[in-house]
Chain A
Amino acid sequence: MLKPPSDMPMYGNINEKTPLDFAGVDTRLPMLVYVSREKRPGYDHNKKAGAMNALVRASAIMSNGPFILNLDCDHYIYNSKALREGMCFMMDRGGDRLCYVQFPQRFEGIDPSDRYANHNTVFFDVNMRALDGLQGPVYVGTGCLFRRIALYGFDPPRSKDHSPGFCSCCLPRRRKASASNANPEETMALRMGDFDGDSMNLATFPKKFGNSSFLIDSIPVAEFQGRPLADHPSVKNGRPPGALTIPREMLDASIVAEAISVISCWYEEKTEWGIRVGWIYGSVTEDVVTGYRMHNRGWKSVYCVTQRDAFRGTAPINLTDRLHQVLRWATGSVEIFFSRNNALFASSKMKVCTICLSSIVIRD
């Protein structure tokens, strides 16, 4: 049995033989898990997207946090309050329609003159902010706080009474034209009605998410826990205050055994992982495609610039690394342009902004 951190603060004691005096300081630590998914020859492991999907499943079984923050190993939390900042957006009124909060990527260790434009200032400070005014910024692969059920490929709540927003009004003709050839198979969302627990069609889940009952049972829970507080009449589909103060369950051997089985390499066979669920496979820049699919279902995203940088990373310093990175982005954008993910064929829910998005990708 593994005990998750208790929900009451544990204060240090003066009597304890610690090298430092932690009297009155909470000494608990969050749960930390090492995961290495199974790999076998003859399987396509889908690189980072595959690893991420394995983590999504394992974490659904072990802790099932309704939100997921994704960081590269060289990106650390620079502002310890960043998680709360992200939560402000998610827990906000109307925040239940946000699929992710993207934080800017900031780098340190760059030479002062920034010869190779490692900061990507134009992209992160002008273009992303610009997109934020429309449906939302793109997902750039790191420093992004996801809503778990958006990753699972569900529609946003109240998607039926979707009204065309500001920017689809400015080009109404294009919207209609694109609506007619919309909805290729992959972009169709998994319907879950208007988010009432019982209208979620649990019978179809094994085909989509695989045969883990633990995982399937965790989905409605994650959906419920991700709702904003219903503390105001104008909040639609909120949850009652105080619902999340109960402590977490203990991790026992059966839970960890189940988590092991969902990171095995055959688990994704004949499921929709990587196609409609989770990180999308088959692209050089899986990040952009993953975010794009969510926007396509009608989710919004938010670009969160905090006064103090939320996350920081180390950038490629030398020219070769930088060129490799730019090349990867360029291939990715060309690929997106010629693929079915091209914004020009977006569904009606998607607003015009994705067209602009593609242009940004092209220009970069």
Chain B
Amino acid sequence: MKPLHPCHAENKLVVISNLIPCAYGYTKILLHCNFHVPSSSSCCSHFVPPIPSRLLVLIRLVALAFFLMWRIKHQNEDAIWLWGMSIVCELWFAFSWVLDQLPKLCPINRATDLSVLKEKFEMPTPNNPTGKSDLPGIDIFVSTADPEKEPVLVTANTILSILAADYPVEKLACYLSDDGGALLTFEAMAEAASFANLWVPFCRKHDIEPRNPDSYFNLKRDPFKNKVKPDFVKDRRRIKREYDEFKVRVNGLPDAIRRRSDAYHAREEIQAMNLQREKLKGGGDEPFEPVKIPKATWMADGTHWPGTWLQPSQDHARGDHAGIIQVPLLSQSCATFHHHLSQSCIWSRTVLTYAFFRASGYAETTK
């Protein structure tokens, strides 16, 4: 990739800031007096000279002024209201055109110098002898609202691309805001977190770009270009298979959740019925009536999902549910990888180790 401007040669901040009056250190402003729409191929070095476009603007401005003067001087006596209306419209458009042109007289391009950033923040210095990253933290917010309209596979891919971003790991935090409170979104995120244990080190090892698996595997260009590590072919094949399995799991999530909820619900109903039967045996004389239990949506660890249920009920509907924060304990040691991770195996590893908290009590929150 060619840098936007050869500012990599000047590694010193002072040199750059002396050159540029705006005193930007790691970044450098390149002033262009023309608008330049970059194409994806190599470009950026050649710019159209600034004079023509400004000249054109000037000519148009003069023409516009003459035209408006002519308009105002030559009233149409027969239809004065029509003339007035068109004058107003023309003035308005002239005004907005001028407003639109004003900022374009001085568009700029900027180029960053990542090597200087690395040198300043991530190299051992007297103040920072270990060379740990001194960069500030970034919190990344991903917002989603409806797993129906925004497919969870897309969201999961976005999360994977964030987890694999090239930034000091301990400084990065990814927050997924699910305004729908859907278990599907949460479980897709958990799946993504689990797959990230493979995907992220793979990206780091082989310098993968882009780090969104779906786009990466759909790239049209040659995936082996510039790859030198001998095990790349093997690794890529392996990750591809794992990703395909991940996709199948995510696509199967809606069904899995429904089936699981049905099973738990049936079990709950049977338990309630047994309880009632025992009561009857114990001498109760109230008539036998079938128990009504609201059909809940169950998480894989056998507890109720605190968010929205598939069959909305009180406290578990869209627009009526508790606040939820869940932090998956991402596997730190990476010790428990198995070859074919079956559904149950994944859940025992990720979901059961979740720290789960929710607002304490509905009564308190509605006071």
A interface residues, Cβ below 8 angstroms from B: 2-10, 12, 16-22, 25-41, 45, 47-48, 51-52, 54-55, 58-59, 62-85, 87-94, 108, 121, 125-127, 129-134, 145, 225-226, 229, 231-232, 234, 240-245, 247-248, 251, 253, 256-257, 259-261, 263-266, 302-308, 312, 314, 352-353, 355-356, 358-360, 362-363
The residue that A37 contacts in the complex, of B113, B239, B323, B334, with Cβ under 8 A, is B323
With contacts A39-B181, A39-B319, A242-B128 known, what are 7 further pairs, Cβ within 8 A? A63-B137, A66-B137, A68-B138, A78-B161, A80-B161, A88-B112, A307-B4
Is the pair A29, B179 in contact by a Cβ cutoff of 8 Å?
Answer: no
B interface residues, Cβ below 8 angstroms from A: 1-4, 13-14, 17, 22-27, 35, 37-38, 44, 96, 99-100, 102-104, 106-110, 112-114, 116-117, 120-121, 125, 127-128, 130, 132-145, 150, 154-155, 157-159, 161-181, 185-186, 189, 193, 196-198, 200-205, 209-212, 215, 231, 235, 238-239, 242, 307, 318-335, 337-339, 355, 357-359, 365-366
The residue that A69 contacts in the complex, of B130, B139, B144, B197, with Cβ under 8 A, is B139
Contact (A4, B197) CB under 8 Å given A32-B330, A85-B112, A225-B137: no
- A–B pairs, 16, beta carbons within 8 Å: A6-B332, A22-B205, A25-B205, A38-B321, A38-B365, A63-B173, A68-B139, A69-B141, A71-B142, A72-B143, A80-B165, A89-B112, A134-B106, A244-B171, A305-B38, A356-B99
Query: CB-nearest residue of chain B relative to A80?
Result: B166
Q: What separation, in Å, do the CA atoms of A256 and B140 have in the docked complex?
A: 18
Is the pair B169, A245 in contact by a Cβ cutoff of 8 Å?
Answer: no
Please give, as numbers and ranges, the residues of chain B lying within 8 Å of A7 by CB-CB distance: 132-133, 168, 170
Is the pair A307, B325 in contact by a Cβ cutoff of 8 Å?
Answer: no
Is the pair A307, B125 in contact by a Cβ cutoff of 8 Å?
Answer: no
Please give, as numbers and ranges, the residues of chain A lying within 8 Å of B337 by CB-CB distance: 16-19
**Minimum CB–CB distance for B132 against chain A, Å:** 4
Please give, as numbers and ranges, the residues of chain B lying within 8 Å of A27 by CB-CB distance: 197, 200-201, 334
Is the pair A356, B100 in contact by a Cβ cutoff of 8 Å?
Answer: yes
Is the pair B173, A20 in contact by a Cβ cutoff of 8 Å?
Answer: no
**Minimum CB–CB distance for A120 against chain B, Å:** 12
Is the pair A36, B321 in contact by a Cβ cutoff of 8 Å?
Answer: yes
Is the pair A71, B140 in contact by a Cβ cutoff of 8 Å?
Answer: yes
Please give, as numbers and ranges, the residues of chain A lying within 8 Å of B324 by CB-CB distance: 34-36
**Minimum CB–CB distance for B91 against chain A, Å:** 14
Query: CB-nearest residue of chain A relative to B329?
Result: A2
Please give, as numbers and ranges, the residues of chain B lying within 8 Å of A3 by CB-CB distance: 329, 332
**Minimum CB–CB distance for B207 against chain A, Å:** 9
Please give, as numbers and ranges, the residues of chain B lying within 8 Å of A31 by CB-CB distance: 172-174, 327, 330
Q: What separation, in Å, do the CA atoms of A90 and B211 have in the docked complex?
A: 24
Q: What separation, in Å, do the CA atoms of A64 and B175 have in the docked complex?
A: 12
**Minimum CB–CB distance for B111 against chain A, Å:** 9
Is the pair B167, A245 in contact by a Cβ cutoff of 8 Å?
Answer: no
The residue that B134 contacts in the complex, of A130, A243, A265, A356, with Cβ under 8 A, is A243
The residue that B238 contacts in the complex, of A20, A29, A90, A129, with Cβ under 8 A, is A20
Is the pair B215, A108 in contact by a Cβ cutoff of 8 Å?
Answer: yes
Contact (A38, B323) CB under 8 Å given A10-B332, A29-B196: yes
Is the pair B154, A73 in contact by a Cβ cutoff of 8 Å?
Answer: yes
Q: What separation, in Å, do the CA atoms of A235 and B2 have in the docked complex?
A: 30
Q: What separation, in Å, do the CA atoms of A23 and B338 have in the docked complex?
A: 17
**Minimum CB–CB distance for B228 against chain A, Å:** 15
The residue that B325 contacts in the complex, of A35, A134, A245, A265, with Cβ under 8 A, is A35
Query: CB-nearest residue of chain B relative to A235?
Result: B25
Is the pair B141, A78 in contact by a Cβ cutoff of 8 Å?
Answer: no
Is the pair A29, B134 in contact by a Cβ cutoff of 8 Å?
Answer: no
Please give, as numbers and ranges, the residues of chain A lying within 8 Å of B35 by CB-CB distance: 125-126, 129-130
Contact (A94, B23) CB under 8 Å given A65-B173, A263-B323: yes
Please give, as numbers and ranges, the residues of chain A lying within 8 Å of B173 by CB-CB distance: 30-33, 59, 62-63, 65
Is the pair A92, B135 in contact by a Cβ cutoff of 8 Å?
Answer: no
Q: What separation, in Å, do the CA atoms of A54 and B142 have in the docked complex?
A: 12
A to B contact number (C-beta, < 8 Å): 421
Is the pair B332, A84 in contact by a Cβ cutoff of 8 Å?
Answer: no
**Minimum CB–CB distance for A35 against chain B, Å:** 5
Contact (A91, B178) CB under 8 Å given A29-B163, A130-B107, A353-B103: no
**Minimum CB–CB distance for A42 against chain B, Å:** 9
The residue that A133 contacts in the complex, of B106, B197, B238, with Cβ under 8 A, is B106
Q: What separation, in Å, do the CA atoms of A130 and B106 have in the docked complex?
A: 6
Query: CB-nearest residue of chain B relative to A359?
Result: B99
Q: What separation, in Å, do the CA atoms of A120 and B204 have in the docked complex?
A: 33
Please give, as numbers and ranges, the residues of chain B lying within 8 Å of A244 by CB-CB distance: 133-137, 171
Q: What separation, in Å, do the CA atoms of A80 and B365 have in the docked complex?
A: 41
Q: What separation, in Å, do the CA atoms of A84 and B157 have in the docked complex?
A: 21
Is the pair A93, B17 in contact by a Cβ cutoff of 8 Å?
Answer: yes
Contact (A74, B170) CB under 8 Å given A30-B163, A52-B141: no
Query: CB-nearest residue of chain B relative to A82?
Result: B165
**Minimum CB–CB distance for A250 against chain B, Å:** 12
Is the pair A93, B24 in contact by a Cβ cutoff of 8 Å?
Answer: yes
Query: CB-nearest residue of chain A relative to B330?
Result: A29
Is the pair B107, A129 in contact by a Cβ cutoff of 8 Å?
Answer: yes
Please give, as numbers and ranges, the residues of chain B lying within 8 Å of A248 by CB-CB distance: 137, 170
Contact (A80, B106) CB under 8 Å given A39-B320, A65-B139, A307-B2: no
Is the pair A73, B158 in contact by a Cβ cutoff of 8 Å?
Answer: yes
Please give, as numbers and ranges, the residues of chain B lying within 8 Å of A145 by CB-CB distance: 138
**Minimum CB–CB distance for B305 against chain A, Å:** 10
**Minimum CB–CB distance for B202 against chain A, Å:** 6
**Minimum CB–CB distance for A142 against chain B, Å:** 9
Please give, as numbers and ranges, the residues of chain A lying within 8 Å of B196 by CB-CB distance: 29
7 closest A-B pairs (Cβ-Cβ)?
A65-B137, A359-B99, A38-B323, A242-B128, A242-B127, A30-B172, A65-B139
The residue that A129 contacts in the complex, of B102, B109, B319, B359, with Cβ under 8 A, is B109
The residue that B201 contacts in the complex, of A20, A134, A358, with Cβ under 8 A, is A20
**Minimum CB–CB distance for A212 against chain B, Å:** 13
Contact (A78, B210) CB under 8 Å given A25-B204, A355-B99, A359-B96: yes
Query: Most chain-B CB neighbours within 10 Å: which of A33, A247, A303, A314?
Result: A33
Query: Most chain-A CB neighbours within 10 Å: which of B35, B125, B140, B235?
Result: B140
Is the pair B174, A79 in contact by a Cβ cutoff of 8 Å?
Answer: no
